[in-house]
Chain A
């Protein structure tokens, strides 16, 4: 993206590109699903020594799902199921979902798939994305398996966008290699707010989430937590990299409007 030279584009396309860039500089925030701007394919990178990856993926998915606009002919209550795919390795490392600990909305509608190999898990994810009766799909894959290359992630993206079923893929102990995911997060647990009645006890979960690659948003860092009624709340975490990215995005959009060629050293 940064290597593209906007000065060589014809003037007609420049205005739309500027609008696109301005939109791109817009921050991610919870509740984007209401505008239909929620990403349909996200990746969440997390460590296998905690459940932060799956928990944050579930929170993000539920946030999009609760804010998604209901179609005119849709039922008043969404009764669709939720598919949770794990490889055996991921299940061994971080365990299987526990019904009593799941959010109330998900408890009765969870369908769990245990795949032996990463290839089987990718097949299950893709079949799930094609299914019109699923609200969203969560995948958990450990490491960087050979089967999960750019082509595979592109297939998942296309399937998710064609059938409008969101996918949240949790990558345990993985390096952020090439991927077609629209949003890529890096998530870790952080100290929870002290509960009101027992300050010594662990409180509502809170995660430090870094959006390091997104197609339609500027990267940034957030403190994700749970507000009232299990809603997702996010607080900005003004980090150094974040400020730099914001400045870059602003400068790029401004430069397009002024039609000045970018300076090269």
Chain B
């Protein structure tokens, strides 16, 4: 194992949520005033919970006044009534951290997110490019200072040690490969092990406050105490081994995916449809070349039209199967560009493939005629979807249910069919099912005799032949207890028309009054 030779740089943005909020709200010209205003008074970022607003982050004056993350806002208000609040944005913070991790790849070949507010960068064999590890850390500090993000960082042979030093050690600490890691890290508190809060509490109650204490009392005792804890965050011994590099700790690096994008800036704004079609055709050809280079096909395409007056129009296209055929893409966009208002003209067009799937180069058919003849199914479905809407084209798939209208679901075509149980061959089912079963008035021998005559859509049908009942009980695991059973009859009337009708409920089943009859299906 080459773990000791690794060098990991841990970055911890201690106040990331607040820094982000400050950057988003403090415009450069009013920066000083905004900062003075912000830093002058206590400020907290809050999230709404079931028990009222809770503090997610607090700035320095708020912390000085007693507000802590995790506290209820009402409690903080009793300590400091003039506290200012702003909503927190955890999703935005995570997205920001993702971008930060990609940006941090300037210091190493890969970087991993360490949610919620840290980044780990592998800087093995990198520091000499910056002139040594101390200069690397100086460079990191300068870069974060330029972005006005508060930072603590450390370099160590393992991710765990770097994290511990960044959070609880001296700022900018460097733990050399040859140094005695146990001695250096032994002074850190046990929270530096990246443990869950309850485990930290347990350790504190056991009187184990520093990492050195853990190694001091003997491994067996701790092992016995935490023998049922398998996850690293709940077992201090696993974390300790990870810190010291005795067992490996895999990290998941971020891999930046850039979506294929092509754009055209136009010298003269275009106002006419014919020109627009030409430019869209050029873009589609560019996109086909771009996608072919990556051996991909687009599933979703976004066309942005920048107007002279600053307005941006976006047309989005979803494709049934991955494709990069420019003619097909052009044709689909042509149907979506009819309602574009060019205003004073369109000066820039940009086409992005925000969802692409692998699509290898295909072998053309030997017979050119076979390819030129007609269009493929995916292209046909694309054309239908663009004109009729995404919900209009679908495919029936079976679903595990006894209730007929629930036993079939509709899903997009070309999506793989879900696995299902085969249906029983002796159940005769109608060819077509009405969207809603229609109530009918039926003459029948009570309580549960065959139907003899019924009225449907104002027409009276004499029942000539009948088969049934097929009893379908309500699905108790899905419906409420008062749901009634159904007795299905397959009938043929005097003219030979075949229907599928059911009686809902029985007389005296205690779940409602007289049973109602419905016509649900039309048999072939």
Contact = CB atoms under 8 A, between A and B. Distances in A.
Contact of A198 (B379, B467, B523): B467
B446 interface: no
Given A52-B497, A112-B396, A113-B388, A98 B430 contact: yes
Interface in B357-401: 367, 373-377, 379-381, 383-384, 387-388, 391-398
Contacts of B433: 95-98, 101
A108 B423 CA distance: 13
A263 interface: no
Contact of B377 (A52, A134, A191): A134
Given A49-B497, A130-B374, A115 B392 contact: yes
Q: Which of A100, A113, A116 has the most CB of B within 10 A?
A: A100
A191 B431 CA distance: 17
A102 B466 CA distance: 21
Given A49-B457, A201-B465, A192 B435 contact: no
Q: Which of A111, A113, A130 has the most CB of B within 10 A?
A: A111
A205 interface: yes
A17 interface: no
Contacts of B377: 81, 131, 133-134
B521 A98 contact: yes
Q: Which of B374, B381, B398 has the most CB of A within 10 A?
A: B374
B395 A191 contact: no
Contacts of B380: 127-128, 130-131, 133-134
Contacts of A124: 384, 387-388
A97 B432 CA distance: 4
B404 interface: yes
Sort chain B's interface into a size bin: 35 or more
A168 B276 CA distance: 39
A202 B498 contact: yes
A12 B496 CA distance: 51
Nearest to B523: A51
B466 A132 contact: no
B413 interface: yes
A215 interface: no
Sort chain A's interface into a size bin: 35 or more
Contacts of A110: 395-396
A8 to B, nearest CB: 40
Interface stretch (B182-190, B212-220, B289-297, B487-495): B487-495
A111 B430 contact: no
A92 interface: yes
Given A51-B523, A113-B384, A132-B373, A94 B423 contact: no
A191 B435 contact: no
Given A100-B408, A191-B464, A201-B490, A112 B393 contact: yes
A123 B521 CA distance: 28
Interface in B20-55: none
Contacts of B374: 130-133, 163, 165
Given A120-B388, A134-B377, A200 B431 contact: no
Nearest to B391: A114
B327 interface: no
A148 B20 CA distance: 61
A224 B451 CA distance: 28
Contacts of B466: 200-202
Interface string A79-110: 00100000000011011111111100000101
B135 interface: no
A157 interface: no
A80 to B, nearest CB: 8
B147 interface: no
Given A127-B384, A205-B524, A54 B490 contact: no
B465 to A, nearest CB: 5
A59 B496 CA distance: 17
B432 A101 contact: yes
Contacts of B431: 51, 54-55, 58, 97-98, 101-102
A113 B393 contact: yes
A34 B522 CA distance: 31
B459 interface: yes
A78 interface: no
Interface of B: 367, 373-377, 379-381, 383-384, 387-388, 391-398, 404, 407-408, 410, 413, 417, 423, 427-435, 456-457, 459, 464-467, 490-492, 495-498, 521-524
Given A113-B392, A201-B490, 7 more contacts: A81-B377, A95-B435, A96-B435, A97-B432, A123-B388, A130-B375, A131-B376
What 10 A-B pairs have minimum CB-CB distances, sorted nearest first? A132-B374, A55-B524, A201-B467, A51-B522, A133-B377, A101-B429, A202-B492, A95-B432, A131-B380, A100-B429
13 contacts: A50-B497, A51-B430, A52-B524, A97-B396, A101-B433, A111-B413, A112-B395, A113-B388, A114-B388, A131-B376, A165-B374, A189-B496, A200-B466
